[in-house]
Structure 1
Amino acid sequence: MALRLVQVNFKARDDAALGRFWAEALGWGVSSEGPGVTNVEPVGFVWPDPVAVCVDVVTVPDPETVRYRAHIELATTSAAHHAESVARLKGLGATLADVGQGDVPWTVMADPEGNVFCVLEPREIYRDTGPIAAVVVDCADPRAMVRFWGEAIDWTVHEVTDDHAVLRSAEGVGPYLEFRRTPEAEIVGNRVHLDLLPYAGDDQAAEAARLRALGATDVDLGQGDVPWIVLADPEGNEFCVLGRPAAEA
């Protein structure tokens, strides 16, 4: 039993507008599964597939402004591509952001709703990831986090240190999932979280129970009666276990 990481979920004031930004930023297309939800994924993509972790943008009444513990990092292939990407993103409505990063070779930006992301300088490790190089989660203890997430999802652990832990799809495609040590503890809910999906034939409730045994806890965000299960990892980061469509369950 295992789960797959299928998408990064953004809370938004305007899902359609933010979805359009991220579609243009990534060179992907948009669709919608219903009012208030915009799905951003590669054109021609058959969901789910480890070649891409998609973006799901959901309108909520009051998405709080917080320092987010999860963010996306974008890949570039050359210094010129990096500069062109930053300029293009500014033209789409992104702004430069100062999160105390100091003098670094990557560029920190914020999307039109203030979600921070990074445009990385060229790095060999990200040459084949697609536009999203990594999904990064700040944490206090990367070793503990990778113990949980390494069991929670079917991804392979690539690196573990006191400061950094890295996973990637077992197929060796798509972006990396990285946990980076930060001294700041979470004090409010995240606007950005991860969505996990059971494999066909696996039971959503059984998977949620397995995650609780690994250290996850139930979270009540006022979600009410919904087809997904909201949990938090051992450091309090919310994530969702999605239900599969009836035809695939």
Structure 2
Amino acid sequence: MALRLVQVNFKARDDSALGRFWAEALGWGLSSEGPGVTNIEPLGFNWPDPAAVCIDVVTVPDPETVRYRAHLDLATRSVAHQAELVARLLELGASLADVGQGDVPWTVLADPEGNVFCVLEPREIYQDTGPIAAVVVNCADPRAMARFWSEAMDWDLLEVNDDQARLRSAKGVGPYLEFLRVPVETVWNRVHLDLMPYSNHDQAAEAARLRALGAKDIDLGQGDVPWLCLADPEGNEFCVLASGGS
């Protein structure tokens, strides 16, 4: 296996404004690889590195109705830190969100463009992840997602049951990737995952391996680009970037 999760991609109406929000929210830095693209990563970060999963915000046309299948969970160190972080995020432009969560110890928010995310109560498992505790994907069958994604990437499968699957970098650093059983529909996603092969592995060969595992090619109107757009067996879109890094 020669793929690693390197970033989460947000489709946005205004990449600069949404990028500024997430940079402030996480305490990370901003850069840009070109018009319409804003990159958010830790200050002094040597990309790619499993110690963090970065954020890439890309301006695209926005459909009227969007259902969210992927979101971020943010980590906190204490109940006081959770309250302080929620207050700061609201000042930055986030809003409280109701997704039917009921009475839960975490706080559900939406960023300025409506992307839902959670600020978790302090949990021991997330104390060493950095500001992003987990990238969470809703799915119908966590066991099936565990089979696909544990083969697709070089991350370790740490937990799997009928309700949840949890993976993390084999180096034991950075956020978790989690799949939660939730009724889902086949819809256009504003948030997806970007994977990258190691420098000595071929992008086309890795994509062929993913297809053999059950991935499908998809056309998002991306045109002639250096990355490949695929969907996992439940239709979650993701991209395989060109080879890079060590």
On whether the aligned pair clears a TM of 0.5, the verdict is: yes
CA distance in 1, matches of 2:184, 2:237: 16
Structure 2 vs 1, CA of residues 91 and 149 (structure 1 numbering), >3 Å: closer, same or farther?
same
User: Which residue of the partner structure matches residue 217 of structure 2?
Assistant: 218
Give identity over the alignment, percent.
Answer: 80
CA contact under 8 A between 2:73 and 2:120: conserved in structure 1? Answer: yes
Matching residue's letter, 1:31: S
C-alpha root-mean-square deviation of aligned residues, in Å?
1.1
User: Which residue of the partner structure matches residue 86 of structure 1?
Assistant: 86
> Deviation digits for residues 53-79 of structure 1, max 9, x if unmatched?
000000002255412100000000001
User: Which residue of the partner structure matches residue 234 of structure 2?
Assistant: 235
User: Which residue of the partner structure matches residue 125 of structure 2?
Assistant: 125
Structure 1 unaligned spans of 5+: none
Question: Secondary structure, in 3 states, of the residue corresponding to 1:55?
Answer: strand
CA distance in 2, matches of 1:68, 1:196: 20
Structure 2 vs 1, CA of residues 63 and 38 (structure 1 numbering), >3 Å: closer, same or farther?
farther
Question: Secondary structure, in 3 states, of the residue corresponding to 2:171?
Answer: coil
Structure 2 unaligned spans of 5+: none
TM-score (norm 2): 0.98
CA contact under 8 A between 2:69 and 2:184: conserved in structure 1? Answer: no
Equivalent positions of 1:35-54 (< 5 A) are 35-54=35-54
Q: How many residues align?
A: 246
TM-score (norm 1): 0.97
Whether 2:30 is the aligned partner of 1:33: answer: no
User: Which residue of the partner structure matches residue 161 of structure 1?
Assistant: 161
CA distance in 2, matches of 1:244, 1:207: 10
Runs of 4+ in 1 over 3 A off after TM superposition: none
How far 1:244 moved relative to its partner? Answer: 2.9
Matching residue's letter, 1:160: V
CA contact under 8 A between 1:76 and 1:119: conserved in structure 2? Answer: yes
